[in-house]
């Protein structure tokens, strides 16, 4: 029988640590070491009694994630590839100040985080799902991406988007636990309004998210304004169709008194017609949602392509005509394979090829 897996100390909340370490103030000392001083072992927590350090080391793991590759691009977007302790690869992207990004002020540094290894949802344009789903990330593995990127880059991150590999809402409990640690004053201390979850449209979880108290922002990956078009590129649309999804969005908006953002990748001759733009404008208008247009980023092995710049501008104009707030985002970091899951896929291919060569 294998030993039971231990919980990682960075997956615990302050109140849970209070139940583990007495007296009361010890828990605060531990979170200070973890998130303020950022040590890498229990041994470094020098103001804790030796016996407590030994007990913690015995009962909890203290994992870290290793940086495998860092790629920088001309516009200083940097991509980080990490190896988890079980060998799996995940990635995060550090995006420099960008005025149009999720309504945040322009001086913010944003990190795009992964929540799963691979993805089960198999959207036809996305690299993350090409290899299927492997596993959920633990809360500490989500939190560690931020700390590792801050350590590597020397920059402080103040905006978080869950738009890396995986479907965040399919890993709901670990995601929420990580967000609480990211948000807490004793943790990373980033305001909920600076945290955005992107989802491909998991209707029950969107409703659940609307019920929890934090003012986290929501971005919904629409990518098609009718069931026909959306269903062709996003298999999840068969489970939760557009009307069910838009109803859940409406519930979220009214419950949280918050505007959502629609993500819409523009793919040539798939979803870039004037009719789609008009339907999208109707959906956005009725929900008072913003729209973020993203030209499709080429993925090796997939045959799609982005529309011409003129077609992109035309789509934007049709969308804006009835007064919808929309931006056309140049895909930052295009040159470093920034769309989700691509760097991991490339690295896996290279590693696989070198294993073949070695064998």
The strand ranges marked E within 172-260 are 195-199, 217-221
CA-based nearest residue to 331, from 80, 95, 71: 95
Number of residues that bind ligand SF4 (CB under 6 A): 12
For 61-85, letters b (16+ CB in 10 Å) and e give ebbbbeebeebebeeebbbbbbebe
Given the rule CB under 6 A, which of 27-35, 126-134, 248-256, 295-303 is the region that contacts ligand SF4?
Answer: 126-134
Which residue in the list 112, 123, 126, 340 is annotated as catalytic?
340
**Is 300 part of the annotated catalytic residue set?**
no
CB of 11 to ligand SAH, least distance (A): 21
**Rounded to whole angstroms, how far apart are CA atoms 9 and 25?**
17
List the one residue from 125, 240, 252, 315 that touches ligand SAH (CB under 6 A): 125
CA-based nearest residue to 124, from 270, 15, 255: 270
**Rounded to whole angstroms, how far apart are CA atoms 18 and 28?**
8
Out of ligand SAH, ligand SF4, none, which partner does residue 116 contact, by CB within 5 to 8 A per kind? none
Given the rule CB under 6 A, which of 62-70, 119-127, 314-322, 326-334 is the region that contacts ligand SF4?
Answer: 119-127
Length of the chain: 359
DSSP 43: G
Residue list 289-328, contact with ligand SF4 (CB under 6 A): none
Number of residues that bind ligand SAH (CB under 6 A): 16
Q: Does 272 bind ligand SF4 (CB under 6 A)?
A: no
Q: Does 248 bind ligand SAH (CB under 6 A)?
A: no
CA-based nearest residue to 195, from 143, 230, 257: 143
Q: Does 326 bind ligand SAH (CB under 6 A)?
A: no
Residue list 171-210, contact with ligand SAH (CB under 6 A): 198-200
Residue list 275-304, contact with ligand SAH (CB under 6 A): 294, 296-297, 299
Q: Does 121 bind ligand SF4 (CB under 6 A)?
A: yes
List the one residue from 48, 111, 291, 340 that touches ligand SF4 (CB under 6 A): 340
Out of ligand SAH, ligand SF4, none, which partner does residue 27 contact, by CB within 5 to 8 A per kind? none
- Of the pair 167, 272, the CB lying nearest ligand SF4 is at 167
CA-based nearest residue to 280, from 306, 262, 305, 253: 262
Phi, psi of 100 (to 5 degrees): -90, 0
Q: Are 71 and 79 in contact, with CB atoms under 8 Å apart?
A: yes
**Is 91 part of the annotated catalytic residue set?**
yes
Out of ligand SAH, ligand SF4, none, which partner does residue 263 contact, by CB within 5 to 8 A per kind? ligand SAH
List the one residue from 110, 221, 237, 271 that touches ligand SAH (CB under 6 A): 221
Which residue in the list 44, 91, 167, 300 is annotated as catalytic?
91
List the one residue from 123, 146, 319, 324 that touches ligand SF4 (CB under 6 A): 123
Is the CA virtual torsion 81, 84, 89, 90 positive or negative? negative
Phi, psi of 336 (to 5 degrees): -115, 30
How far is the CA of 340 from the CAs of 2, 32, 98, 298, 343, in angstroms?
34, 32, 18, 11, 8
**Rounded to whole angstroms, how far apart are CA atoms 17 and 169?**
26
Residue list 138-157, contact with ligand SF4 (CB under 6 A): none
Among all residues, which ones are annotated catalytic?
91, 340
Name the residues that contact ligand SF4, by CB under 6 A.
119, 121-123, 126, 128-129, 166-167, 200, 221, 340
Name the residues that contact ligand SAH, by CB under 6 A.
125-126, 163, 167, 198-200, 221, 263, 265, 294, 296-297, 299, 339-340
């Amino acid at each position: 029988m294998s030993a039971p897996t231990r919980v990682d100390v960075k997956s615990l909340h302050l109140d849970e640590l209070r139940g583990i370490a007495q007296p009361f103030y010890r828990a605060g000392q531990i979170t200070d070491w973890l998130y303020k001083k950022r040590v890498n072992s229990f041994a470094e927590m020098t103001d804790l009694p030796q016996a407590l350090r030994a007990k913690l080391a015995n009962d909890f793991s203290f994992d870290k994630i290793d940086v495998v590759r860092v790629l920088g691009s001309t516009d200083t977007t940097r991509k980080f590839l990490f190896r988890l302790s079980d060998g799996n690869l995940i990635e995060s992207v550090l995006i420099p100040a960008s005025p149009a990004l999720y309504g945040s002020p322009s001086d913010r540094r944003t990190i795009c985080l992964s929540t799963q290894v691979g993805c089960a949802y198999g959207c036809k344009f996305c690299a993350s799902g090409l290899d299927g789903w492997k596993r959920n990330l633990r809360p500490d593995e989500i939190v560690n991406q931020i700390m590792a990127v801050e350590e590597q880059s020397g920059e402080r991150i103040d905006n978080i988007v869950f738009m890396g590999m995986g479907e965040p809402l399919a890993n709901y409990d670990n995601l929420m636990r990580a967000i609480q640690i990211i948000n807490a004053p004793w943790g990373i201390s980033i305001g909920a309004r600076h945290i955005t979850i992107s989802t491909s449209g998991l209707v029950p979880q969107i409703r659940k998210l609307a019920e929890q108290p934090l003012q986290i922002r929501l971005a919904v990956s629409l990518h098609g304004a009718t069931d026909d078009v959306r269903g062709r590129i996003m298999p999840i649309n068969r489970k939760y169709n557009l009307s069910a999804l838009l109803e859940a969005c409406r519930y979220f908006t009214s419950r949280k008194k918050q505007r959502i953002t629609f993500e819409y990748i523009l793919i040539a001759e798939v979803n870039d017609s004037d009719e789609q733009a008009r339907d999208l404008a109707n959906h956005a208008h009725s929900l008072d949602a913003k729209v973020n247009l993203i030209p499709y980023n080429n993925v090796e092995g997939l045959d799609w392509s982005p529309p011409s710049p003129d077609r992109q501008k035309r789509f934007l104009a049709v969308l804006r005509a009835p007064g919808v707030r929309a931006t056309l985002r140049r895909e930052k970091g295009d040159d470093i394979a920034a769309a989700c899951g691509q760097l991991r896929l490339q690295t896996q291919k290279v590693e696989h090829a070198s294993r073949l060569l070695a064998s």
